[in-house]
Amino acid sequence: MSTSPRSDRDRDEEGRARNARPRDELGRPLPPGSVGVERIPEDLDLPPAESLAWAQDLLDRGRAFHAHEVLEGAWKSGPADERLLWQGLAQLAVGITHIQRANAKGAMALLERAAERLAHGDGPAPHGVDATGLVAYAHDLMAELRRGGSPAPDRLRPRLVRRRVPDDEASAQD
């Protein structure tokens, strides 16, 4: 049995396989030559706030797979002490992707891993990420899936960061 790379795959300068196939809204590969949705660059390296804002926009538009790619970029390019956070966020998005694709078993596995990683940190998560809320959200989705439910599309748009109260609103509440 040969373990040499397939010669028909698109590869980068170092020989690593690239995933150049077009994808649909849910991230499913389409046949070569098809027109898919715009892809997230594989070497994405954005500041955390931009990564979170873009991922949130994609989640809000039902494109969890693509949100995962943005979050994976932050995971790969971010500091080592934040890797579990970004990995957990990316896995949460993949768990949602599995729900969108009607794969409850895959969703359960990824949501469980996401919750474990998001719960790993001590104290508040960096960048305003609502890790505590997202862990509860993942557990709620898993409970619904265990009951045989299928979460509605509007339930698949979690808030990644805590809502910030503008200064004038905070003063009015005092």
- In the chain, the domains with their CATH numbers are 48-156 (1.10.3450.10)
Dihedral of alpha carbons 46, 49, 52, 53, sign: negative
If one counts every other C-beta atom within 10 angstroms of the C-beta of residue 123, the result is: 6
C-alpha radius of gyration, the chain, whole number: 18
Per-residue pLDDT at 74: 92
Angle (deg, nearest 10), helices 64-77 and 48-60? 170
Cα separation of 80 and 68, whole Å?
19
| Geometric angle at alpha carbon 100, from 95 and 114, rounded to 5° | 10
pTM above 0.85, yes or no: no
Q: Is the pLDDT of residue 37 over 50?
A: yes
Q: Give the tens place of pLDDT for each residue, 152-161.
A: 999 999 999 9
